[in-house]
Structure 1
Amino acid sequence: MRFLQIHNYYRYRGGEDSMFEQICAVLRTHGHAVTTYTQRSTDVQGSGKKLKAALTGVHSPRSEREVRRMLRWDRPDIAHVHNLYPLISPSVLRACSDEGIPIVMRCPNYRLVCPTGVLLRNGKPCELCVGGHEYRCALVNCRGNLLESTAIAGRSFLVRAFGMISKSVTRFIAPSQCVKQRLVQAGIDSERIDVVPNMVPLPAVTVDPSHGEYVAFAGRLSAEKGLETLLDAARLIPHVPVRIAGNGELLDSLQNSAPSNVTFMGHLRSDKLASFYAKARLCVVPSIWLEAFGLVPAEAMAYGLPVVASRMGALPEIVDHDSTGYLFEPGSPEQLAASIEQLWSDPQRCRDMGLTGREKVKLEYSRDVYYTRLMRVYEHVLEATESAYTEIRRTVHSV
Structure 2
Amino acid sequence: MSKIAVVDLLFNWPPDGGSRVDLKEVFSRIAKFHEVKLFVPHFTRYYPRGEILEPIPLNIELIPFNRFNYNFFHVPIKIKKALEKFSPDYVFIADGEHIKPYVVRALGKYNPILRFYTYDSFCIKDYGTFFKDGSICLHCFLDTPLYCLRCTTMWLLKYKPRMAAHTFLTSLAFLPGFSGIIKEGLKSAGKIIVYNEFIKEIASKYNKSCMVIPSGVDTTLFKPSDNKITSDIPIILMSGRIDDPQKGFNVLLRACKKLHDKGKIFKLLVTTEKKFEEPFIESTGWLTQKELPNLYHKADICIVPSIWLEPFGIVAVEAMACGKPVIASKVGGLLSIIDDGCNGFLFSPENSDELASKIELLLEKPDLCYRMGIAARQKVEIEYNWDRIVEKYYLPMFKITA
1:42 aligns with 2:44: yes
1:290–1:240 CA distance, 2 compared to 1 (3 A): farther
* 1:19 aligned to which of 13, 19, 22: 22
* 1:110 aligned to which of 110, 113, 119: 119
Matches of 2:175 and 2:23, distance apart in 1: 23
Matches of 1:262 and 1:225, distance apart in 2: 17
Q: Cα offset for 1:89?
A: 3.7
Partner secondary structure for residue 65 of structure 1: helix
- Long gaps (5+) in structure 1: 384-399
1:171 aligns with 2:198: no
Counterpart of 1:85, as a letter, is: E
Matches of 1:142 and 1:342, distance apart in 2: 43
Partner secondary structure for residue 143 of structure 1: helix
1:269–1:210 CA distance, 2 compared to 1 (3 A): closer
1:26–1:60 CA distance, 2 compared to 1 (3 A): farther
What is the number of residues matched between the two proteins? 360
Counterpart of 1:66, as a letter, is: K
Counterpart of 2:4 in structure 1 is 3
* 1:65 aligned to which of 74, 77, 80: 77
Counterpart of 2:113, as a letter, is: V
1:128 aligns with 2:136: no
Q: Cα offset for 1:289?
A: 0.5
Counterpart of 1:215 in structure 2 is 236
Q: Cα offset for 1:271?
A: 2.9
Structure 1 length as normaliser, TM-score? Answer: 0.81
Contact 1:234/1:262 (CA < 8 Å) preserved in 2? no
Partner secondary structure for residue 290 of structure 2: helix
Counterpart of 1:93 in structure 2 is 104
Counterpart of 1:313 in structure 2 is 332
Q: Cα offset for 1:206?
A: 1.2
1:22-74 C-alpha deviation (Å, 9 max, x unpaired): 2221211x3211011102562338xxx87975xx2xx233x333333333322
Partner secondary structure for residue 284 of structure 1: strand
Q: Cα offset for 1:164?
A: 4.0
- Answer with 131-140 or 144-153: which moved more: 144-153
Counterpart of 2:36, as a letter, is: V
Q: Cα offset for 1:130?
A: 4.4
RMSD (Å), alpha carbons: 2.9
Matches of 2:123 and 2:137, distance apart in 1: 9
Q: Cα offset for 1:270?
A: 2.3
Partner secondary structure for residue 300 of structure 2: strand
- Long gaps (5+) in structure 2: 48-65
Partner secondary structure for residue 6 of structure 2: strand
1:338 aligns with 2:338: no
Matches of 1:93 and 1:335, distance apart in 2: 44
Kindly indicate which of the two structures has a greater share of residues assigned to helix.
1
Q: Cα offset for 1:301?
A: 0.3
1:121-141 C-alpha deviation (Å, 9 max, x unpaired): 233211234442122234234
Give the alignment of 1:227-266 within 5 angstroms.
Answer: 227-238=249-260, 239-247=264-272, 251=274, 255-256=276-277, 259-266=278-285
Matches of 2:88 and 2:76, distance apart in 1: 16
1:154–1:281 CA distance, 2 compared to 1 (3 A): same
Counterpart of 2:199, as a letter, is: V
Matches of 2:397 and 2:36, distance apart in 1: 14
1:157–1:278 CA distance, 2 compared to 1 (3 A): farther
Q: Cα offset for 1:236?
A: 1.6
Structure 2 length as normaliser, TM-score? Answer: 0.81
Contact 1:206/1:303 (CA < 8 Å) preserved in 2? yes
Q: Cα offset for 1:233?
A: 0.7
Q: Cα offset for 1:329?
A: 1.0
Identity %: 23
Counterpart of 1:105, as a letter, is: L
